[in-house]
Amino acid sequence: MPTESNDSPRILIVDNYDSYTFNLFQYLTASNKKEPIVIRNNQYKWDEFKTDILPYVDAIVISPGPGNPNSQHDFGICSNILLESDLPIFGVCLGHQGLAAVLGGSVIKADPPMHGRLSSILHDDLPQELELTAWVDEKETNIMGLKHKSKPIWTVQFHPESICTAYGQTIVDNFCEIVKESWQKSSLPEIFNSMTVIPHPLVAKTTPKLKYKAVIQRLRYASSEDVFQTVYSKLDKCFWLDSAKVEKGLSRFSYMGCCDGPESFTVEYRLDNREITRMGKKSEKMLLPKDKTFFEYLAQIVNDTAITKDSIECDEEFDVPFIGGLVGYIGYEMKSESMKYHPEQEQFLTTSAHTVPDSSFIFADRVVIFDHQEQSIYLSTLVDTSISSSRKLQNEWLKSTTAIINSIQSDFSSQYIDKQLVKIPEIKIYHEKKEYIENINKSLYNIMEGETYEVCLTTQLTVDIKKPHPHPFEMYKHLRKRNPAPYGSYFSLGNGLHIASSSPERFLRITKNNISMKPIKGTLQRATKVNFPGSEQEIELENQRRCNHLANSEKDQSENLMIVDLIRNDLNQISVPNSVSVPHLMVVESYATVHQLVSTVESVLRPDLNAVDAIMRCFPPGIVCTKLGSMTGAPKLRTVQIIETLEQIPRGPYSGTIGFFSVNGQSDFSVVIRTAVFHNDGNKTNVAVGAGGAIVALSNPEEEFEEMILKAQSWDSLINLEINIKSNLKQDELLDIQKEANAILDQSKVHLSINEQELKVDIPGRYALEIICAQENVIEVKETRRIVLKLQDCSTASAVSSSPPIHFIVYVPPRKASPLQIFRNDGTLLDSNAFLIPQWGGIVIRDPQSEFSIEELHSLMEIFAQQLRQLLGVSPIEASKIRKLLVALISFRKTLK
């Protein structure tokens, strides 16, 4: 909260609803030794601002923001400030454009947009009257800095607050020094104590009531899947936070529990009627008052159930993040509460998920904890210190659960068989291709107009599964086998609601009031003896080469930069002043299997806030560093509003967050992606899966649509949408397939011929492609199937004779082969089912059924399409058509039988 001392100038930031404003806040606090006041550009009418606020501030900073400074909606009172105030003013981005606009200048579109990209700035000394002070090129066509002729107003188009801007803090320091030259101390009016938009605590933080004592007991290790299968899988309300993919430094613990304890309860919330339903020892339904939020309700529970380290009883040193407390999800539509910045703000179009709760939590007083690193299991239970019988009840649970886990002999996971679980009649996509591409084009228009930097456009795929059908937990087991993730989860929340998630991304973690976020952008396979030929020295040199490639990737760097700046902005609102730091910026971190380009953003949570405050102020997740892109975009509020006009459908739990608020004050939440939501719908179960991608200025609509479809099809591993095909092909079947494939590319003049053993594609005058299926023994694995994709330049006779064919060799080992990984030819991680064999110039893919899944087929064809583009200069559209053609060839999978 802002300090009340009057020993430094009072600087006011006018926020244009940008996602970088609070990075300026951090720099100004560091320079001025006093927190600025922050208001929104439409928080006050100009007359009110001019009379009640302007006389009591010493300088004004006008933030970046979306839109155009000529729009009152976008720029608010900032035009009046620039025209009528005599105070020192510093404008950034939109503030820079605004200075030119109010003086009659023209604001034109940049070509190309430079969001997240670095460039050198040429500059001159500050002039004594209006002139250009900074520009990008020698022609001075891209203006980067201006100074007013007679007023103390300076503006810059670039972002000095960005973590990568050289001398950004120095620029802010210089402005503060100018302010101090004319600063005169004056009394502070009462209005300043409440006007800032720096968040107030959701609830008053009090000394912990110490209602509970946590009793911890250790026992022998067992498979987490076996334990959940035995203890919880048949219960109506249960949870499993599942580190299915364990790697040191990335993931370590798994947690599971249910709602059968004496202190446990469930709580769910629906935005459409603002009703909270709590079920447990104290059951109730209540309507949330209009001036309250569900986040406040959660924050009160967290405050009331908090314990200290002295309240943990364990026979050994114990430091586990989750020992009991709230565990559940916050759906995307909860943005209606987390992003409501002032009473007159426009209402969101989608205000509830409707079919499922917008948020649902279990308060778990009994938790089974798996430490996968130390190969230990802990049982944790919360004892109510005010009830004498509570200790006895919880001890009985400890004893019975220990006996059950110790008695587990069978290995359910080893009994698992990869098979078709459900027959799906039809998958529905909410936005068909034409509409989805129209939405992409509208997103690109908004980017070019300066309304947003990036739009995460999504759609929803739904399928109705007739009853009876396998339990959703059986489907989750299938998912975690096919697509293990460090932040997987399974929830059964009653009334037929189940969530199965295979999320690879953490949202936010709080440990001992320290907030940590680690955006990842860029992944390459680590070279090892298994996947790279050569000596140990050669392997080390290859890993150095791959690390250097990651460290110097302009695309990965620009995306990582935008992510880091957005995270800094969110954390600056909830953190101790000047505690937000980036100890590691775009550092390559190496793990057992991969190298990753990682940044680390850390801060210290303000002492008057708790973990719910932190989640709320950063919600919904702004940027997620996966192939999926972002869940919203930037600037966050304006982009969310754009998304709503395009998608026109609730996202539900998808794009929200799943995790826990532990009674020991720690929290850890993941982003809800790669997730299926099951809910009961009469005589059938509806399954909904979200899919989409980040739209940026360079996006190609056709390719973005294809990418969305590819991502959406990855969920077939959840319900195993396998196509059962006969082993032997008939000639009429081959002709039908040939006809279907040719129909796809009838405009590209690509011709296809096929028989039982060979597929040929001819692009007249350019290239010829052959896909040949044959038996061959490779790397001491018998009965390995080989598919050779041979690409030959046929443009000229000399090319045919002089240019050797380019081969893509796919080896499909039999079922018993060890699991492998798949990487692109440049070493980029693509999938967990195969890996690159450099000396063969191809890809090795392993499938348990010795055949390609739909997802693997798409992955392979994506690689081939990329090779066409990179090696032979085929356009993106041509490459996309080639991929479509090959994916359509179901015969390609048939010939593998």
Q: Which residues are catalytic?
A: 93, 159, 161
Sorted by sequence, the CB contacts under 8 Å of residue 616 that are 6+ apart come out as 202, 293, 295, 337, 338
CA-closest candidate to residue 162, choices 508, 574, 453? 453
Measured in residues, the chain has a length of 897
Structure tokens at 112: 């190309």
The radius of gyration computed from the CA coordinates of the chain, to the nearest angstrom, equals 29
**ω before 813 within 30° of 0 (cis)?**
no
Strand partners, 767: 763, 793
Other beta carbons within 10 Å of 56: 15
Q: Among all chains, which residue has been given the structure tokens 């693509």?
A: 830
- Nearest to residue 662, comparing CAs of 482, 511, 881? 511
Cis peptide before 112 (omega within 30 of 0): yes
Closest CA to 29 of 575, 567, 565, 564: 575
Its sign, for the CA torsion 282, 287, 291, 294, is positive
In 544-683, the DSSP E strands lie at: 581-590, 594-604, 633-634, 657-662, 667-671, 675-681
> Residues 115, 121, 125, 128: is their CA dihedral positive or negative?
negative
Return the axis-axis angle of helices 294-304 and 611-618, rounded to nearest 10°. Answer: 160
Within 8 A by CB and 6+ apart from 582, the residues are 163, 564, 568, 599, 600, 601, 602
SS3 52: helix
| CA–CA gap between residue 59 and residue 34 (Å, rounded) | 13
* Cα–Cα distance for residue pair 609/618, rounded to 1 Å: 13
Half-sphere exposure of 509 (CA within 13 A, CB side): 16
d(CA 753, CA 773): 14
Tokens of 199: 């968040």
Instruction: Give the pairing of strands 11-15 and 37-40.
Output: parallel
Q: Nearest-CA neighbor of 346 among 573, 688, 17?
A: 17
Q: Report the alpha-carbon distance of residue 501 to residue 499 in Å, rounded.
A: 6
Contact assessment for residue 768 and residue 759, using Cβ atoms and an 8 Å cutoff: no
Are the beta carbons of 330 and 657 closer than 8 angstroms?
yes
Q: How many CA atoms lie within 13 A of 321 on its CB side?
A: 23
| CA proximity to 65, closest of 116, 114, 14 | 14
Task: Specify the DSSP element, H or E, that contains 537.
Answer: helix 536-551
- The whole-angstrom separation of Cα 358 and Cα 274 is 10
Q: What tokens appear for 48 in the block?
A: 């009110």
- Of 594, 598, 597, the C-alpha closest to 823 is 594
Helices first, then strands: H and E counts in the chain = 24, 42
Distance CA 883, CA 870 (A): 15
DSSP letter for each residue of 385-447: TT-HHHHHHHHHHHHHHHHHHHH--S-HHHH---------S--EESS-HHHHHHHHHHHHHHH
> In a 10 Å sphere around its CB, with 0-12 CB exposed, 13-18 middle and 19+ buried, how is residue 467 labelled?
exposed
